[in-house]
Amino acid sequence: MLLALKQKTCEKAEEDVGRHYRELEITAATRAAQVEALFNGLVFEVAQRKQALELMRRSEEQYRLLFETNPFPMWVFSTETHSFLAVNEAAVCRYGFSRQEFLAMTVKDLGLGEDDASFLNNLPGFTSAGVRKHRKKDGTAIEVEVSTQAIAWAGRTARLVLAHDVTEHQQAERALLEAEAKYRSIFENAIEGIFRTTADGRFLVANPALAEIYGFGSPEEFIRCPAEIGEKLGMDPGARDKFKYLLHVSDVVKGFETRVPRNDGTPIWVSINAHALRDAGGKLLHYEGTVQDITKRKEAERALCLLSGRLLILQDEERRHIARELHDSMAQNLAALAMDLTRVKESAGKLDRKSREALAESLELADQCGREIRTLCYLLHPPLLDEHGLAAALRWYVDGFTQRSGIRVSLHVPAQLGRLPQEIETALFRIVQESLTNVHRHSGSPSAAIKVFLDSSRVGLEVKDVGKGIPPWGHGKLVDGVMGLGVGIAGMRERVKQLGGELRVRSTTGGGVIVKATLPCPGGGDNGNPHSGRRRS
């Protein structure tokens, strides 16, 4: 029995030992797993910290790279002391201070001032502080556009600043504003009308002078008037079409003169200049131009034209009067003198030799004076022009001119040319007279040709030589009728203008000059009627 009890006790002890061993194994496995988990956690945490440190290192490198290589000046300053904590290379280059000098300075040393620094401190987050004036090391003032961001720097509150030098931009802006102000002043106070329109002719801009020229109360009222450029500028359909055509063909119209009505219907004369503005690709953007009121000038030109016409008429009448007086008085007196001297010559046998020589010389002088007075009378106003018309007067004048000058002149007059109005015959004769005088004095031509032409509505003539032609400096002056030939061309042009005709003077390719005059003459010549359209003096 004792043995059995002992055996049971041993079995129970073994059972307890086995249970405790198993519990120890379980505890050991659990502790091992916990240790392994803790170890793995530590390894992971270390790895995470390494990764975070690497990211921080890379981020710092990137930040420094961005900070140091940024082309714009950048710096970090303390919000407490306003001293510089860091600056980049662009700031060193732009401001002229070394990095050590910067780090020994405060922001107020750049010219910002304490108040401005405090102002930067109070800005929220990342923001623009506008344009500030800074001072470089050499004292040069610059204008910079400042942007700033609140940051932490080495455990201190700080602000990161980026400064963009806008000095040239600001100067350009101020110059532009000044130019715009000057342009605006010129635009508003100009005495000429100034306008701008769209490509389809709608007005965009008009100055006060333009509104005043056309009788509107203001530029706005003028612009509101619904019409395109030609119509709003008052042109009649014909002038409007011509203006638009010229503008379309050449993009420029200069000195386009036309008669237009003001807003109240009053007619005025204006001179219009316009040009097209296009982009680099040639696309039409808009039109710009000026309008000048030339009514007073036109009235003065008309008055001058009437005066010039009257003076030409008076000149011709005075020539005619002088020619008649010379012919009727002096020529007759010389003829009587010659007759008396001839009677004295019949008794010359009673005179001594010297008296006879004086008598012969007196007769010769009297005859010469008579010829010269007759020539002068014909040059002033040939009687043939009044009595027989243009064709006969031209033939007589050409023959005399050839004898006096030695210049061969051919004359072609159409057989059907009859009598013309007196003012037309006089004008054409004077043009031939002046043209041949110019040939004799200036051209050096050995010959000249005159051709008269006419049709049912006009008559004209052409005088041509083969001389030196017009010198280069004289071509531009022909427009104004002024050359080294005196006032001859101007006189011819005025005569033709008075009669509503046209005078052209030009050099030919091979040398020489052509003078061509064309006059309106409904019906042309009248085949000899001595009174057709003639004004009796």
Give me the pLDDT at residue 70, please.
87
Q: Confidence band (pLDDT; 50, 70, 90) for 534?
A: very low
Give the percent of the chain with pLDDT over 70.
82
pLDDT exceeds cutoff 80 at 164: yes
pTM over 0.85: no
Please name the amino acid found at residue 198: T
State both tokens at 456: 């049912």
Give me the pLDDT at residue 114, please.
47
The SS3 call for residue 515 is strand
CATH class label, 70-170: alpha beta
CA 445 to chain centre: 43
* Average pLDDT estimate for 475-488: 47
pLDDT digits (tens, 9 = 90+) for 325-338: 676 667 677 777 77
Topology given in CATH for the domain delimited by 190-293? Beta-Lactamase (3.30.450)
Neighbours of 533 (CB within 10 A): 16
Dihedral angle computed from the Cα positions of residues 226, 230, 235 and 238, in that order, rounded to the nearest 10 degrees: -130
Q: Confidence band (pLDDT; 50, 70, 90) for 194?
A: very high
What integer best gives the mean pLDDT of the chain?
80
Q: Which long-range contacts (CB under 8 A, 24 or more apart) does 382-387 make?
A: 382/429, 383/323, 383/327, 385/425, 385/426, 385/429, 386/320, 386/422
pLDDT digits (tens, 9 = 90+) for 403-420: 888 999 999 999 888 888
Euclidean distance between CA atoms 526 and 385, whole angstroms: 15
Give me the pLDDT at residue 62, please.
66
pLDDT digits (tens, 9 = 90+) for 214-226: 888 899 888 887 6
pLDDT digits (tens, 9 = 90+) for 494-515: 888 888 898 988 888 777 899 9
Contact 170, 131 (CB under 8 A): yes
pLDDT exceeds cutoff 50 at 378: yes
Give me the pLDDT at residue 361, please.
83
pLDDT exceeds cutoff 90 at 450: yes
Our CA angle for 522, 425, 373, nearest 5°, is 175
Query: Where are the domains positioned within the chain?
Result: 10-69, 70-170, 190-293, 311-381, 389-529+533-537
Of 520, 302, 527, 535, give the one whose Cα is nearest residue 423.
Answer: 535
Higher pLDDT, 412 or 19: 412
Question: 389-529+533-537 in CATH: which number?
Answer: 3.30.565.10
* Average pLDDT estimate for 455-480: 74
Q: Confidence band (pLDDT; 50, 70, 90) for 470?
A: confident
- The residues near 40 (Cβ < 8 Å, ≥ 6 apart) are none
* Average pLDDT estimate for 34-38: 73
Higher pLDDT, 300 or 113: 300
Give me the pLDDT at residue 328, please.
63
User: CB-based burial of residue 70 (10 Å sphere; 0-12 exposed, 13-18 middle, 19+ buried)?
Assistant: middle
Q: Do the domains spanning 70-170 and 190-293 agree at the CATH topology level? A: yes
